[in-house]
């Protein structure tokens, strides 16, 4: 389980803290969209018109956290609320990636690793 927040809602939450928050305080940004990762994967495939047979299941990593949950009541106390529902945020995100394949396709190819090697050498922490 994860609490998914649309990027502009997250940025607006940070902006709210910067403008209205108390210095030194901690504010969690969450939208109250706690979604199981299996539900998320199915929703993405559905949006793309793809079959669920594309999913593959792997063993959990040792120490896997079953749930990430945040209490964002302090942020909401500053007047912040997310503008996007889970469905609207998911649709906007999937649609962006569909429309911007030229941005993400090189990431899948590994081309970016050449950039790091050229600029940073073989520093293991960066590669």
Is there a domain that residue 125 lies in? Answer: no
Q: Quote the pLDDT of residue 84.
A: 95
Structural domain of 87? 2-100
Domain contains 72: yes
Total number of domains constituting the chain: 1
**pLDDT band for position 97 (50/70/90)?**
very high
Is 127 a domain residue? no
| 3 has a pLDDT exceeding 80 | yes
CATH (domain of 6):
3.40.50.720
pLDDT score of 125 more than 70: no
Q: What is the mean pLDDT of the chain?
A: 90
pLDDT reported for residue 124 = 59
Asked whether residue 118 is assigned to any structural domain, the reply reads no
Q: Which residue has the tokens 């793309």?
A: 48
Residue 35 lies in a domain: yes
């Amino acid at each position: 389980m994860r609490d998914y927040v649309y990027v502009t809602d997250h940025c607006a939450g940070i902006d709210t803290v910067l403008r209205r928050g108390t210095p030194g305080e901690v504010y969690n940004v969450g939208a109250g969209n706690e979604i199981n990762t299996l539900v998320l994967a199915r929703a993405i495939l559905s949006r793309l018109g793809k079959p669920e047979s594309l999913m593959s299941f792997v063993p959990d990593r040792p120490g896997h956290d079953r749930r990430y949950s945040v209490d964002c009541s302090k942020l909401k106390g500053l007047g912040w609320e997310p503008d996007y529902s889970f469905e609207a945020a998911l649709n906007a995100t999937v649609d962006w990636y569909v429309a911007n394949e030229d941005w993400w396709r090189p990431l899948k190819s590994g081309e970016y690793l050449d950039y790091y090697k050229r600029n940073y050498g073989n520093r293991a922490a960066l590669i």
